[in-house]
């Protein structure tokens, strides 16, 4: 069975602070994919990043960066110099390999509030 755990239920920071959202996953598959999605107040989930299990390179996209470590089964997300527009619910998700037809297992979500 697959499982995704996001340690923080809610995080509150002040603008320009750096913030890290933790994600730990469990799977028996050797091939799998990890995702981060953002859900702003409008409600629609927005795709942020995908990582496959064979690519442990960290990734940076503007103020966003992701740290994937297979040894600890973690895929953490850092926002540098946070802004009010970053306020949203963030979900980490896992798709196993095989014929799972893209079924995603989501974490519980982390509510991030960035105060001006």
Partner 1 sequence: DVKVTQSSRYLVKRTGEKVFLECVQDMDHENMFWYRQDPGLGLRLIYFSYDVKMKEKGDIPEGYSVSREKKERFSLILESASTNQTSMYLCASRPGLAGDEQFFGPGTRLTVL
Residue 99 Cβ, how far from partner 1 at the closest point, in Å?
9
Q: Is 12 in the site for partner 1 (CB under 8 A)?
A: no
The phi and psi torsions of 71 (rounded to 5 degrees) equal -60, -30
Query: Which is closer to partner 1, CB of 44 or CB of 71?
Result: 44
Which residues contact residue 13 at a Cβ distance below 8 angstroms, ignoring those fewer than 6 apart?
19, 82, 112, 113, 114, 115
Query: Of these, 13, 24, 29, 33, which contacts partner 1 (CB under 8 A)?
Result: 33
Strands 110-115 and 10-14: parallel
**Which 87-106 positions form the footprint of partner 1 (CB under 8 A)?**
91, 93, 95, 97, 101-104, 106
Q: Is 68 in the site for partner 1 (CB under 8 A)?
A: no
């Amino acid at each position: 069975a697959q499982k995704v755990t996001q340690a923080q239920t809610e995080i509150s920071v002040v603008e320009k602070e750096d913030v890290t959202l933790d994600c730990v996953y469990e799977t028996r598959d050797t091939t799998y994919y990890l995702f981060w999605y953002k859900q702003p107040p409008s409600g629609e989930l927005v795709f942020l990043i995908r990582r496959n299990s064979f690519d442990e390179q960290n990734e940076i996209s503007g103020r966003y960066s992701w740290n994937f470590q297979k040894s600890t089964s973690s895929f953490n997300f850092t926002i540098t110099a946070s802004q009010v527009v970053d306020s949203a619910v963030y979900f980490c998700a896992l798709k196993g390999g095989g014929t799972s037809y893209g079924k995603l297992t989501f974490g519980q979500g982390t509510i991030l509030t960035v105060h001006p």
